[in-house]
């Protein structure tokens, strides 16, 4: 049997009234409390004023202090390899040898030519002495004496040329012993014994790199580079850290050496170079790392925990606990941060208590039961190092990149 339309309408109206009543109950002054009627428990922290270091992390490449492609200075057959890839070598250590026999023969020929020229010079000088004695007795013409003097000078010049040829031949012979031009680490050999080698070989025999110290080359956006350049030109020793695969993979500590004198128009960055002692050899040539350095120091910044900043439709805001234990919404302008602390440029005054935990259950006017968060350890205001330090001092209160 169908119901009367008037009765159906009445039932619908009663349902709507019930929903409205329940909604008003939820919006009553006790709506900011928990289901048991208690204030919402939250954790708060005080906004403070202090120095804040703005860090920049950029990808970089390890570059050795020196890198030399070892080549033979003479053309010949490679007869011996005297190193193993990865071996530490000193300057002057033997790396390889070229067949010396052709060069030994050249030395012998040069020695022979020199001996002949020296004998001719000695004979000419002896004859000249005899002629000069006869000239004093007026028994020989002055022209004969002059001719003999010219012959002596000619043989003397040939002796000097012969000495030069001997020196050149001996130099060529010494070049058959290929030695390391620098101290460092020698790489894998690039040619096997029995092959012809010479100065024109592009690949060379091996590469010797000096990785202690090493350098890291990286680029910084021009906006941040201006702050770094200002400190660098002012004589500040700026520390630079190198990281590997993650924020805990710290490979070494170094210092900023210098910067390029132009901006790369393709990337809008300035290239920088940092030096690392690399005493343990952790940094390898051409290795990709992350370089991290302080670019700017904000001396009187308003600092709040990063967890206090919430995102809303109108932008970032924080919940501020008032004296009556209720919260108010404060719109803020957020500045740089390091993951744990954020700079607020507007909207919060020093000393204000901001909510860092429990904000998801709050709205404007909610009553809270506030508990202070643990006080964070103070941070170094201006990380620095002393010029000449192999390893700048460790910074105990820095955030990971």
**pLDDT for the residue 376:** 64
Residues 234-272 have pLDDT tens digits of 888 889 999 998 888 899 899 999 999 999 999 999 999
| pLDDT at residue 359 is higher than 70 | yes
The 3-state secondary structure of 326-374 reads EEEEEECEEEEECCCEEEEEECCCCCCEEEEECHHHCCCCCEEEEEECC
- Give per-residue burial for 219-256: e unless 16+ CB within 10 Å, then b: bbeeebbebbbebbeeebebbbbbbbeeeeebbbbbbb
Q: How is the chain split into domains, by residue range?
A: 55-65+211-297, 73-98+177-204, 100-175
**pLDDT for the residue 236:** 83
Alpha carbon dihedral 73, 76, 78, 82, in 10-degree steps, equals -30
Phi, psi of 299 (to 5 degrees): -75, -35
CATH of domain 100-175: 1.10.287.470
Compute the chain's Rg from CA coordinates: 42
| pLDDT at residue 19 is higher than 60 | no
Helices and strands, number each (H, E), in the chain: 4, 20
Pairing of strands 368-372, 40-46: parallel
CATH of domain 55-65+211-297: 2.40.30.170
Most confidently modeled range among 174-178, 313-317, 329-333, 391-395: 174-178
CA distance 392 to 386: 7
**pLDDT for the residue 121:** 94
Please state, rounded to an integer, the average pLDDT across all residues of the chain. Answer: 85
**pLDDT for the residue 397:** 34
Q: What does each C-alpha distance from 133 to 52, 126, 153 come to in angstroms?
A: 97, 11, 19
Q: For 368-393, what is the mean pLDDT? A: 64
Fold of 73-98+177-204: OB fold (Dihydrolipoamide Acetyltransferase, E2P) (2.40.50)
| pLDDT at residue 152 is higher than 90 | yes
DSSP state of 198: -
Residues 159-213 have pLDDT tens digits of 999 999 999 999 999 999 999 999 999 999 999 999 999 999 989 999 999 988 8
Residues 63-105 have pLDDT tens digits of 998 999 999 999 999 999 999 998 999 999 999 999 999 999 9
Q: For 294-322, what is the mean pLDDT? A: 89
Question: Do residues 129 and 110 touch, judged by C-beta distance below 8 A?
Answer: no
Cβ-in-10-Å burial (0-12, 13-18, 19+) of 130 comes to exposed
18 confidence band (pLDDT: 50, 70, 90) = low
14 confidence band (pLDDT: 50, 70, 90) = low
21 confidence band (pLDDT: 50, 70, 90) = very low
300 confidence band (pLDDT: 50, 70, 90) = confident
Helix 101-136 to helix 142-174 angle (10° resolution) is 160
């Amino acid at each position: 049997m169908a119901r009367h339309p008037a009765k159906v309408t009445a039932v619908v109206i009663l349902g709507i009234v019930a929903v409205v009543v329940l909604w008003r109950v939820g919006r009553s002054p006790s709506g900011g409390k928990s289901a048991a009627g208690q204030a919402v428990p939250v954790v708060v922290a005080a906004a403070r004023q202090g120095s804040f270091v703005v860090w920049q992390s950029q990808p970089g490449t390890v570059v050795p202090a020196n890198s030399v492609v070892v080549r033979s200075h003479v053309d010949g057959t490679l007869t011996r390899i005297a190193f193993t890839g990865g071996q530490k070598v000193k300057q002057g250590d033997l790396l390889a040898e070229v067949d010396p026999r052709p060069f030994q023969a050249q030395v012998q020929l040069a020695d022979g030519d020199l001996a002949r020229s020296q004998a001719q010079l000695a004979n000419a000088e002896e004859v000249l002495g005899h002629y000069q004695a006869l000239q004093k007795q007026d028994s020989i013409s002055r022209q004969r004496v002059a001719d003999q003097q010219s012959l002596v000078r000619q043989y003397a010049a040939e002796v000097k040329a012969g000495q030069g040829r001997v020196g050149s031949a001996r130099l060529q012979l010494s070049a058959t012993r290929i030695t390391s031009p620098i101290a460092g680490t020698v790489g894998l050999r690039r040619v096997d014994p029995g092959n012809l080698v010479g100065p024109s070989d592009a690949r060379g025999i091996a590469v010797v790199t000096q990785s202690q110290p090493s350098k890291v080359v990286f680029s910084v956006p021009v906006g941040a580079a201006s702050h770094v350049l200002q400190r660098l030109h002012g004589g500040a020793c700026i520390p630079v850290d190198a990281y590997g695969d993650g924020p805990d993979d710290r490979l070494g500590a170094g210092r900023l050496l210098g910067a390029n004198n132009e901006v790369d128009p393709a990337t809008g960055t300035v290239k920088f170079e940092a030096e690392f002692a690399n005493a343990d050899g952790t940094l390898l040539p051409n290795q990709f790392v992350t370089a991290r350095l302080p670019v700017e120091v904000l001396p009187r910044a308003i600092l709040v925990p990063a967890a206090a900043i919430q995102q809303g439709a109108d932008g970032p805001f924080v919940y501020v606990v008032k004296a009556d234990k209720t919260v108010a919404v404060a719109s803020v302008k957020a500045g740089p941060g390091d993951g744990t602390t954020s700079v607020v440029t507007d909207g919060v005054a020093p000393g204000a208590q901001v909510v860092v935990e429990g904000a998801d259950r709050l709205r404007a006017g909610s009553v809270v039961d506030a508990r202070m968060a643990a006080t964070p350890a103070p941070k170094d205001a201006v990380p620095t190092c002393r010029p000449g330090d192999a390893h700048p001092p460790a910074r105990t209160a820095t955030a990971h990149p």
